[in-house]
Structure 1
Amino acid sequence: MDAASAHIAWIMAQTSAPDRDTFGAFAPTPLIRAAIAVTRTLPETWLGRRVALALRQLAIRRLDGAPVDIEVLGARMRLFPYKNICEKKVLFTPQFFDAEELEILARRVEAARDRDEGFNFLDVGANVGAYSVFVAAKAGPRARILSIEPQPDVFERLVFNVRQNQWPTVKAIACAVADKSGELTLFLDPDNSGESSLKILGSSDATPIRVPAKTLHQLAYEERFEHIDAAKLDVEGAEDLILEPFFRTAPRSLYPKLIILEDGSGRWQIDLPKLIEDTGYKLLVRTRLNFVFELTS
């Protein structure tokens, strides 16, 4: 058996092990755990990022294709730090992962708990569930969290992460969110599974697949949401296709009180931040990757 065949056989043996669906089956080795511990203490400076990147690359090579079961963001997660920037960040440097956005979101969750209210959160483009599990870990049993992810492989990882924490407050839905319901084409980025989009990607190697789609208003109606405390939208430049028709058709009572929006300025067909502000929101902060808007009274 040559080296390539041996490697494939090893991966098949790992993934077919009887306990592969049990959290802890892919616990990090002492060396990987040490690398993770170091990268998680590094500051968000140029040097800190460079050191974290170097250690991450060494650890990924050492992992040799295996996932890692670990606790992060207040939850148990199985992470595949290959061709998914989100999983790499969450595993090795969660302190760099949307820190300002998560701090704002955490304050809203805590305020709802102080008022003894359930927190309703929509995670549109949930990826493997980082935002969803973060909110679920803080929001308590009265929360309702909708995690929406259209890419089949990533959706399976999302479902696994939700199940390991046994949170009945989280519901995962396998569909795209768009300006119309039906079946649409999703373009898969071969280098980063978190970059899949309903809009044509720049990479000529992008793979198109057909996925079911619903509008945001339809999802909120079908799930019987009476209000939405916060929504995160990260759909690689298709956020305008979601929010413009939502604001046009949904009652104001359904407008999310907080919107965390990935900055897709170069791909939007409209001035989406202006539309959001004209709809009654104010910009709280613009970070390196996202806008955060708050609905005014």
Structure 2
Amino acid sequence: MGNARDACGPAARLASARGMSDHQPYGTYAPAGLVAAIARRTLRFSPDSWRGRRMAMFLRRLAITLMRGKPLDVERLGARMRLHPYNNNCEKKVLFTPQFFDPQERALLKARLEPGCTFLDIGANIGAYALFVAAFAGPRARILAVEPQPDIFDRLTYNIAQNPFHTVKAVACAVADKAGELTLFVDPRNRGESSLKIVGTNESAQIKVPAVTLMDLVRTEGLTRIDAIKLDVEGAEDLILEPFLREAPPALLPKLLVIEDGVDQWQIDLPKLLEGHGYRETGRTRLNRMFERVAANPA
């Protein structure tokens, strides 16, 4: 497929016009000095140690201060990335403590996904999940990384281009329950919490983005099977999955779902809906729930 970027309409122009990433060659911002020493040290802390986590957070804050607004070019989760750890918790975690970044979820994906799999990363942010899967899924894999925020999308495409996987396609749009132009509420403190719903975000920070339904995305990309979906859309997971589950043929239903736990924002009982389509919950973390499809027609 090749490293690619695509759009669900006019967002392609927005992505380039508003892109904020520095496109200097990879390696321009290699870690050096005390920042490099801190980055090496934080990688060694255990996610199971309370003291280790506290120390890692302290050292991370120190390093971010020393970085003075610049990014770092590093290899994390099996992929090269340029990371900007300032207004995005995802980038902070992946840069300094990737071992803290959804370890249970990533272990499940690695255990279940086979070479040549099809994986959808919806709410891809800067591509941590998509690139993690690409690093082990082989050259026949097909991976879609969907991200609506133009400047974050720019970072995503930069990260994809630094790697030799040639299996990740970036798509610049939102996924929702209806197609069209929708309002995205942008959280300036943590870009990973931007949402099509008002969920603790700054209501004054709004941008218009194109949106498609999950079914339309699948049809447009010509997918005939989906092995796994990671869905992180800040409380709109139910709005996306309900129409897809209703419309999709059984052969298109993904075997594995990693869903951000938005139970306080969901308008329907999403776990019950998934159970009705043959899924059972096989894991839960502080942030996410994991569901695996075990039967086409549940008892």
Equivalent of 1:58 in 47, 59, 62: 62
Whole-Å separation in 1 of the counterparts to 2:77 and 2:29: 18
Please list every run of 5 or more consecutive structure 2 residues that lacks an aligned counterpart in the other structure: 1-19
| Conserved 8 A contact 2:245-2:277 | yes
Deviation at 1:224, TM superposition (A): 0.8
Write the distance in 2 (CA, Å) between the matches of 1:54 and 1:26: 22
User: C-alpha separation between the residues in 2 aligned to 1:204 and 1:42?
Assistant: 34
* Counterpart residue number, 2:4: none
2:162 maps to what in 1? 164
Q: What is the alpha-carbon distance in structure 1 between the residues aligned to residue 38 and residue 83 of structure 2?
A: 15
TM-score by length of 1: 0.90
**Corresponding residue for residue 264 of structure 2:** 266
Aligned: 1:193 with 2:191:
yes
Alpha-carbon distance change, 77 to 247 in structure 1, aligned in 2, over 3 angstroms? same
> 2:182, 2:211 within 8 Å by CA — same for their partners in 1?
yes
Establish whether residue 46 from structure 1 lines up as the match of residue 44 from structure 2: no
Matched residues, number: 275
The aligned counterpart of 1:121 is 119
Paired amino acid for 2:280 = K
Structure 1 position 233 matched with structure 2 position 228: no
Question: How far apart are residue 107 of structure 1 and its match?
Answer: 1.0
Q: Which residue is 1:32 aligned to?
A: 35
* Structure 1 runs of 4+ with >6 Å offset: none
The two structures have a TM-score, normalised by structure 2, of: 0.89
Q: Determine if contact 2:174/2:210 at 8 Å carries over to the other structure.
A: yes
Q: Deviations over 1:194-232 (max 9, x none)?
A: 100000132445411100000011111111111000000
RMSD, matched Cα: 1.4
3-state secondary structure, aligned to 2:209: strand
Question: In structure 2, the residue corresponding to 1:70 is in which secondary structure?
Answer: strand
Contact kept in structure 2, 1:189 and 1:206, CA below 8 Å: no
- SS of 2:217 mapped into structure 1: helix
Query: In the aligned structure 2, how far is the partner of 1:279 from the partner of 1:21?
Result: 47
CA displacement at 1:268 relative to structure 2: 0.7
Report the AA paired with residue 30 of structure 1.
G
Q: CA deviation at 1:275?
A: 1.0
Structure 2 equivalent of residue 96 of structure 1: 100
Cα deviation for residue 46 of structure 1 reads 1.6
Superposition deviation, residue 288 in structure 1: 1.2
Alignment partner, residue 9 of structure 2: none
Contact 1:189/1:201 (8 A) holds in 2:
no
Check if 1:275 corresponds to 2:273.
Answer: yes
**Correspondence for 1:6:** none
Whole-Å separation in 2 of the counterparts to 1:288 and 1:196? 19
Q: Which aligned pairs between 1:241-260 and structure 2 lie closer than 5 A?
A: 241-260=239-258
CA contact (8 A) 1:190 1:205 kept: no
Q: Which residue of 1 aligns with 2:24?
A: 21
What SS class does the counterpart of residue 69 from structure 2 fall into? coil
**Mean CA deviation greater in 164-173 or 53-62:** 164-173
Change (3 A) 1:48 1:206: farther
**SS of equivalent residue, structure 2 residue 165:** coil
Q: Alpha-carbon deviation of 1:271?
A: 1.1
State the AA in 2 paired with 1:210: K
C-alpha change, 1:16 and 1:119, in structure 2 (3 Å) is closer
User: Residue 185 of structure 2 contacts residue 201 of structure 2 at CA under 8 Å; is this kept in 1?
Assistant: no
CA separation in 1, counterparts of 2:282 and 2:165?
30
Return the offset for 1:21.
2.8
